[in-house]
Amino acid sequence: MSKALFINIAGQGHVNPTIGIIRELIDRGENVTYIAGEEFREKIEVTGAKFKSHKNFDMSNNVNKNLNLTNNKILLDAIRNLNLTNNKILLKVISTFKEIIEIVFNSNEKFDYVIYDSTFILGPEIGRVLKIPTISSTTTFGINEAILTNILASLQFDKFKEILKNSDYINFAKDLQEKYDIKFPGNPSEFTGKGIINIVYTSTYFQPHSETFDESYKFIGPSIIDRKESIDFNLENKENKKIIYISLGTIFNNSIEFYESCFKAFKDMDVEVIMSVGKKIDINIFKDIPSNFSVCNYVPQLEVLKYADVFITHGGMNSTNEGLYYDTPLILIPQFADQPLVANRVAQLGAGIVIEKNEATPEMLKECVGKIFSDNSFKINSGKIGKSLREAGGYKKGVDEILNLKNTIM
């Protein structure tokens, strides 16, 4: 039995894809210690892993809300909208990183390898200092040196130059060097967090510019596990009606205006609509829910997607992967971070339609659903991506790669 250290930061989208990996590692006899935000304690501990918590930070309130997807500058807009140079945000990130480092180096445990979220860019250094193999866990599209260099060149390095010159960053980097011999990245091209191997939860077909990635990148597809959830409504016999599933994920899901637009768009259509509004919204606030709508605070997404004919989503990588895994065409209304990039790739491959979030009117929503229902190419193309995701191997393939690395090096 070997001991694995798993380090994660940020939100659900970074943790959920790793659950299958953890379970499979433990099922194969590995011992796993998992560091993440306290809100994930129950989810992690139920797998059998040892849990250690840090204070998480929320980037969702620190982006430009007027996200512009025009001129195909999807990835650049996504990065520009991450206000990384905001000193308050930088301090939160530094605080989280510092807490994780102290947990790792003050632990009495000796680890055999470390797996870390790719956004935790100190993962490679932890592996170097502890003299253990490093595995990066990438929950969105892979970013390699070639792609990152191109992005930074387009941005003229200004964002990252500001970070590297920030006094809080400089003092933090100096402190890490003196206390733990950890060298914080001093060059923007080092911000990929690359490990000896890099687990990416998508397929080579869905990954943009997959031909530029070396063999250390393992495209395993989404980590789909049986969540053993049931649904409270029957979707199997709906008189052959089309089923629309609507969910904006777990962060940007409090838009009453958007949900009202959906009511107006689909109330007179001969369809069944399943809508998840998140746990923050009191459903009683909606006074006139159309009879063909089922509105819930939580929906067992994987179960619904087995029946859905179209999925209206924010374009988070997890939700997108899950929809496409079941060959479901998508209407994507990206909100934040990597979602514009994900949405653009879906549209590029002909599996869905992207709507600017400020253009998600009832008329536009109805028009886009009509296009998907009338044009079978969306279903065919989502099926191509879905097939590639299902054949990529999933969490079992991911664990095969991790253990192969461990057995080769140890």
Closest CA to 259 of 293, 305, 232: 293
Say yes or no to pLDDT of 186 above 70.
no
Q: How far is the C-alpha of 329 from the C-alpha of 361, rounded, in Å?
A: 20
Contact 187, 173 (CB under 8 A): no
The pLDDT of residue 230: 61
In this prediction, residue 117 carries a pLDDT of: 95
For residue 256, the model assigns a pLDDT of 87
Domain range 3-221+392-409, CATH architecture = 3-Layer(aba) Sandwich (3.40)
User: φ, ψ for residue 166 (rounded to 5)?
Assistant: -65, 135
- Averaged pLDDT, 118-139: 94
Its pTM surpasses 0.85:
yes
Residue 235 pLDDT exceeds 70: no
Query: Tens digits of per-residue pLDDT, 271-323?
Result: 999 999 988 889 999 989 999 999 999 888 999 999 999 999 999 999 999 99
Right CATH for 242-390 from 3.30.1330.40, 3.40.50.2000, 3.40.50.1100, 3.90.320.10: 3.40.50.2000
pLDDT computed for residue 405 by the predictor: 96
Looking at the chain, which residues constitute the CATH 3.40.50.2000 domain(s)?
3-221+392-409, 242-390
Of 143, 49, 52, give the one whose Cα is nearest residue 101: 52
336-359 burial: b if 16+ Cβ within 10 Å, else e: bbbbbbbbbbbbebbbbbbbebee
* 61-89 pLDDT per residue, tens: 444 444 333 333 444 444 444 444 456 67
Phi and psi torsions of 86, nearest 5°? -65, 120
Which 8-state DSSP code applies to residue 359? G
